[in-house]
Amino acid sequence: MNPPAHEILLRVRYSETDQMGTYYNSRPLEWFECARSELMRALGRPYTEIEAEGLFMPVREAHVEYLGKARYDDLLRVRSVLTMPSRAQVRFDVEITQAATGSPVCRGYTIHAVVNAAGRPVRPPPWLIELVSCETAQSRKDASAH
């Protein structure tokens, strides 16, 4: 097994393009947000439930590498992977490709703190630590068997 991952399909909207006819440079961060929301939902923990527990995950760092073009009406495959680089942060790695050809569009990541309703940092909840730890440990075990 690998770290928790999920794929979605998104279509480039006209409002997401610039005068050159390709996606505007800030759009990948919006697509990253959509991907991480759907990943958490697929894992059984939509953001609405996490926030109902009094926990929030603000972005602390974001990085995007622009690799190729995406134009109006292109269908994109957006793959997100959840990891925990430290006890106080979660990280979502995202890769966006053209759905039809697999050509890379962009890739990057966001790193998030876990905070309470007062905005103070807290440890990630046990369910999140367990989810990432179990998946990552199994992935390492599988890799060493080969």
The domain locations on the chain are 5-145
| Tens-place pLDDT, residues 52-79 | 999 999 999 999 999 999 999 999 999 9
100, pLDDT greater than 90: yes
Q: Which CATH superfamily is domain 5-145 in?
A: Hotdog Thioesterase (3.10.129.10)
Q: How many residues does the chain have?
A: 146
Q: Which residues contact 124 (CB under 8 A, 6 or more apart)?
A: 84, 87, 88, 90, 114
Mean local confidence (pLDDT), 7-21: 95
The mean pLDDT of the chain is 90
Per-residue pLDDT, 95: 99
Taking the C-alpha atoms of residue 130 and residue 32, their distance in angstroms, rounded to an integer, is 23
Q: Which residues contact 16 (CB under 8 A, 6 or more apart)?
A: 23, 24, 27, 30, 72
The residue whose two tokens read 């039809």 is 100
